[in-house]
Amino acid sequence: MASKLSTLSTTMAFLLLLPLFTTLAFADTSPSTPISPGTACSSTPDPSYCNSVLPPNQKGNVYDYGRLSVSKSLSQSRKFLTLVDKYLQRRSALPAAAVRALEDCRTLGELNYDFLSNSFQTVNKTTRLLPSLQADNIQTLLSAILTNQQTCLDGLKDTASAWSVKNGLSVPLSNDTKLYSVSLALFSKGWVPNAKKKTTAFQPTKKQLAFGNGRLPLKMSSRNLAIYRSVSQRKMLQSATVGGDVVVVNDVVTVRQDGTGNFTTINDAIAAAPNKSSSTGGYFLIYVSAGVYEEYVNIDKKKTYLMMMGDGINKTIITGNRSVVDGWTTFNSATFAVSGQGFVGVNMTIRNTAGPEKHQAVALRNGADLSTFYSCSFEGYQDTLYAHSLRQFYRECDIYGTVDFIFGNAAMVLQNCNLYPRLPMSGQFNAVTAQGRTDPNQNTGISIHNCSIRATDDLAATNGSVSTYLGRPWKEYSRTVYMESFVDSVIASAGWQKWDGDFALSTLYYAEFNNRGPGSSTADRVTWPGYHVINATDAANFTVANFLLGDDWLPRTGITYTSTLL
């Protein structure tokens, strides 16, 4: 987290936002100074395991140890994929639930291999602190690797029929997770500047500015431009940075259920999108006309810089009903899942209609780096919005749910959004968030900025008999901040709820800043060691500019955003 943040004003905040296990002596040591493995390992969450990884009785510097750790991590990620494949080879003898859990692990393992390959290329050729954005890119990937490991393990644990598979994978999963944690800690020490500077805002090219003024960009036909104009005239894509549309679109396809478009299903349109598009090459725009689309949408890692626009909330509706009770993992229960970097979603409703009695049932699962949703609605009950990993931004979206309905371990900012707790099952309480940070060096968390929290009509009718909380700690280093938001009386005066006894109460980071409304008073809030009422200096660390380095990448999406505090 320290890698994204400007210098903090208080000693307590500084300690919370830097890696928590760094000794003072090691913190003052230059990363290029030769040190013993034991000294290097003192900065990691599990020094004993770290010492078993680094070569004994040899001195190197943090860069030497970091390269070795990332190299070993890459090798282990390949071995884990091979192990998962061995289990999948006998899928016919396994229950469907076990196969689904294994397939999740396979998908996540492939991402880990990709992320570690990318990370190793950087650390292997660089022996210095990196520029802020480059450091953040790699810290984000290494953070996501740990999240992927935990997701694989959670899926196996939640699948009772996969007990034999779980027993065979739990040890390598655990050991690899410890190794990946070492890599993240050493990278944070050697390559990440303690206080990142804000990057220069994105500047559009002449071609992009020409498009904003109404002239054709390269590779866009007059027909496609007409379609683009028809869906962008509603001011869905406006940028205060340059005063107009700056989005580059290289191709447009339409989805219409009546057969008058290019495709009748969303997944067919996604399949037609090019693979591995670049951030500068322009978006592949899928325009989805009004209708109810009963399909499970999956945008995999190859489908990068794809933009999808609907006709509006409650007009373009994508719906499904998968749930954990019906044999799916939480990860693959999603109605809409996206992993492709740079995804932009606009003017759609995404639903999971499984209902509260089916427990975990995801509407949107987002594991796409540098992804954005604008003017969308996500509707479900438990686990509605799964902000799984990497960097995400949501603007003017509506999110409905009950238990933990915004959860995951991304670095995410929700801005100008409406959060609607709804009526849960009898005996349940509502938790708006359940953030899943498992490691103190992960640059992840939920930042809720200038949003509104109000009960749905069915919950409001209970007259406070159902408790609703701002969040609870799903994992040990859970981190959630509410800033400059409206909090209605639906939120209990304590504000936050425990997960299990005193689990994570001293390691979490929950904070509130300058909120308003009848539920915003902090006078009777919890008194946990990890809970804080913060000032503007500390709150600024969780803005779009600092938490996501969003000034570097959000302008090219064309989505309106506020870079700093109000």
Active site residues: 404
Cα angle at 110 between 107 and 111, to 5 degrees?
90
In angstroms, what CA-CA distances link 195 with 62, 92, 192, 199, 520?
19, 52, 9, 12, 31
Cβ-contact 305, 284 below 8 angstroms: yes
Structure tokens at 227: 């379609």
- Rounded to whole angstroms, the Cα distance separating 151 from 154 reads 5
Are 17 and 5 in contact by the 8 Å Cβ rule? The answer is: yes
- Amino acid identity of residue 390, one-letter, is L
Tokens of 537: 């200096």
Q: Residues 169, 84: contact at Cβ < 8 Å?
A: yes
**Sign of torsion over alpha carbons 247, 343, 472, 468:** positive
CB burial string 282-296: b at 16+ within 10 A, e below: bbbbbbbbebebeeb
Element (DSSP H or E) covering residue 536: helix 536-539
3-state secondary structure string, 435-462?
ECCCCCCCCCEEEEECCEECCCHHHHCC
Q: Mind giving me the DSSP string for 53-83?
A: HSPTT--B-HHHHHHHHHHHHHHHHHHHHHH
* CA separation for the pair 364, 329 (Å, rounded): 14
How many CA within 13 A on the CB side of residue 303?
Answer: 23
| Torsion from C-alpha of 179, 185, 189, 194, nearest 10 degrees | 160
d(CA 551, CA 470): 28
| 8 A C-beta contact, residue 492 and residue 467 | yes
Backbone angles phi, psi at 360, to 5 degrees: -65, 120
271 and 299 in contact (C-beta within 8 Å)? Answer: no
Exposure class string for 224-233: b at 16+ Cβ within 10 A, else e: bbebbeebbe
Cα 56 from Cα 49, distance rounded (Å): 12
Q: Which helix (H) or strand (E) holds 266?
A: helix 266-272
Residues near 500 by beta carbon (within 8 Å), at least 6 away in sequence: none
CA 542 to chain centre: 14
Which residues have a Cβ under 8 Å from the Cβ of 209 and sit 6 or more positions away?
A: 242, 246
| CA neighbor of 188 nearest in space, from 74, 73, 65, 371 | 65
